[in-house]
Amino acid sequence: MDYKSSDGYAGPRSEDILPASATAAVKVVIVGGFGVGKTTLVGSVSEIRPLTTEETMTQAGVGVDDLAGIEHKTETTVAMDFGRISINEQLVLYLFGTPGQERFWFLWNGLFEGALGAVVLLDTRRMEVSYDVIGRLEERGVPFVVAVNAFPGAPKYPMAELRTAMDLDDTVPMIDCDARDRSSCRDTLMALMRYLYSLTTVSTEPQ
Amino acid sequence: MSEPGHGTESGAEPPGNPDRLYILTGGETRTEAKTHLDLVTLVVSRAEPDPGLQPEHAAVVRMCDFPLSVAEISAYLELPVSTLTPLLTELLSRGKVEARPPVPAAALPDVQLLEAVMHGLQKL
Ligand SMILES: Nc1nc2c(ncn2[C@@H]2O[C@H](COP(=O)(O)OP(=O)(O)OP(=O)(O)O)[C@@H](O)[C@H]2O)c(=O)[nH]1
Ligand SMILES: [Mg+2]
């Protein structure tokens, strides 16, 4: 139940309010194919009920139409689920779940800008989406870990085999994850942080 | 060194039709250093909502009594981020709200930041 003020606009429930001392936020992106468990993962660790934000992209027609002076636009709207974890009195972590299919990549510019890193949720029943996502993240230089969630009846592969199939670098962590389980999701986020930490310390080591 | 602020004035027009951009963003804000609004920029009110504000503007000011991210405001108002951003920019330029930018993006995150996040996650 949201708090509705007299103007009819909902706002945060009293328990969802951040302290006035919150000064800065960081974000992590959860990315994966359709129905892979993004929303479930966000909900498992979020201190607020997951919320939905919409992003629209308007693309003006280019090329011949412009020369003819004709304006035509296409608009795409995508909903993103997100949740929140207060790290301490000052720092807030936001988790955004975003679809991995290529047609949604237009969202990535704003989303990944400044993001600490990403969790790629891998569904062993449909690996192509994750394969494309991983390639794209590598291109953008976004650090990520791969979380494999086990669905009933999904084929079970050894991690090494998945790593080969995904063309994954040996250094990229892979973990089993049940998106419905809070501690499993926490461990997945931890794995990402430890990985980021390792990247930081490697790069600052004296040559 | 060239004179600051006159870099492109007399030069060739950069691509992307700047005149059009100028119109879209409103002439008066052009010279201000625009605050970039991220999805996780925290917005906090600086004033009470006053009766002169449009309903959506007033709702933002009321809602941001305590810090809220742009994403949360967008969710509560059910407005796409692209619609919300100009509204927030206007409130910012009128001093009704302040923006607390996210931890700045770096090629690699700061060790202390990561330690803080890990410590926070451990409590989950
Ligand atoms: N067994 C199992 N089921 C899961 C897991 N994660 C999610 N599910 C179930 O899979 C279904 C889809 O999960 P969602 O979290 O909605 O997936 P999503 O990625 O957000 O889906 P879209 O936003 O529609 O792309 C739900 O019924 C979940 O309960 C998991 O780790 N294990
Ligand atoms: Mg979802």
Beta strands in B24-95 (DSSP E): 42-45, 68-69
- Is the pLDDT confidence value at A72 over 60? yes
| DSSP code for B14 | P
Is residue B23, in this structure, part of any structural domain at all?
yes
Q: How many CB atoms lie within 10 A of CB B55?
A: 11
Helix, strand or coil for residue B69? strand
Q: What are the DSSP calls for B82-113, one per residue? A: HHHHHHHHHHHHTTSEEEEPPSPP-SS--HHH
pLDDT band at residue A7 under the 50/70/90 scheme: low
The superfamily (CATH) of domain A20-64+73-203 is: P-loop containing nucleotide triphosphate hydrolases (3.40.50.300)
- Is the pLDDT confidence value at B10 over 80? no
Residue nearest to atom 4 of ligand 1 (CA): A37
Q: Which atom of ligand 1 is nearest to the CA of A184?
A: 31
| Residue B101, domain extent | 18-105
Mean per-residue pLDDT of chain A: 88
- Kindly state the helix (H) or strand (E) to which residue B122 belongs, with its residue range: helix B111-122
A119 neighbors A30 (Cβ within 8 angstroms) = yes
- Is the pLDDT confidence value at B15 over 50? no
pLDDT at position A138, please?
95
Per the CB < 8 Å rule, is B72 touching A114?
A: no
Per the CB < 8 Å rule, is B75 touching A51?
A: yes
**How far is it, in rounded angstroms, from Cα A41 to Cα A95?**
9
Sign, Cα dihedral of A124, A126, A128, A129: negative
Is residue B119, in this structure, part of any structural domain at all?
no
pLDDT at position A6, please?
59
- Is the pLDDT confidence value at B5 over 60? no
Per the CB < 8 Å rule, is A193 touching B80?
A: no
Is residue B2, in this structure, part of any structural domain at all?
no
Mean per-residue pLDDT of chain B: 78
Is residue B124, in this structure, part of any structural domain at all?
no
Q: Which residues line ligand 1 (CB under 6 A)?
A: A 32, 34-40, 97, 99, 149-152, 178-180
> Hey, what are B14's tokens?
């950069």
A16 neighbors B63 (Cβ within 8 angstroms) = no
What ipTM does the predicted assembly reach? 0.86
pLDDT at position B108, please?
67
A50 neighbors A190 (Cβ within 8 angstroms) = no
pLDDT at position A4, please?
58
pLDDT tens sequence across A15-32? 999 999 999 999 999 999
Q: Looking at A43-52, A63-72, A189-198, which range is the least confident one?
A: A63-72
Is residue B80, in this structure, part of any structural domain at all?
yes
Kindly give the distance from the C-alpha atom of residue A87 to the centroid of ligand 1, in angstroms, as a whole number. 25
Model-level pTM? 0.84
Q: Which residues from chain B sit within 8 angstroms of residue A85, using beta carbons?
A: 120-121, 124
Residue nearest to atom 12 of ligand 1 (CA): A35
Sign, Cα dihedral of A79, A85, A89, A90: negative
**How far is it, in rounded angstroms, from Cα B108 to Cα A172?**
16
Judge whether A166 is closer than 8 Å to chain B, CB to CB. Answer: no
pLDDT at position B35, please?
75
**How far is it, in rounded angstroms, from Cα B69 to Cα B88?**
11
The percent of chain B in helix, strand and coil, each rounded to the nearest 5, is: 45, 10, 50
Judge whether A201 is closer than 8 Å to chain B, CB to CB. Answer: yes
Looking at per-residue pLDDT, the higher value among B1 and A193 belongs to: A193
pLDDT band at residue A204 under the 50/70/90 scheme: low
pLDDT at position B22, please?
35
Is residue B39, in this structure, part of any structural domain at all?
yes
Is residue B112, in this structure, part of any structural domain at all?
no
Per the CB < 8 Å rule, is A94 touching B71?
A: yes
Distance from CA of B108 to the nearest CA of A (A): 6
Is residue B9, in this structure, part of any structural domain at all?
no
pLDDT at position B19, please?
38
pLDDT band at residue A135 under the 50/70/90 scheme: very high
Burial of A144 (0-12, 13-18, 19+ CB in 10 A): buried
Q: Average pLDDT of A108-116?
A: 91
Number of domains within chain B? 1
Residue among A12, A93, A197 minimizing CB distance to B68:
A12
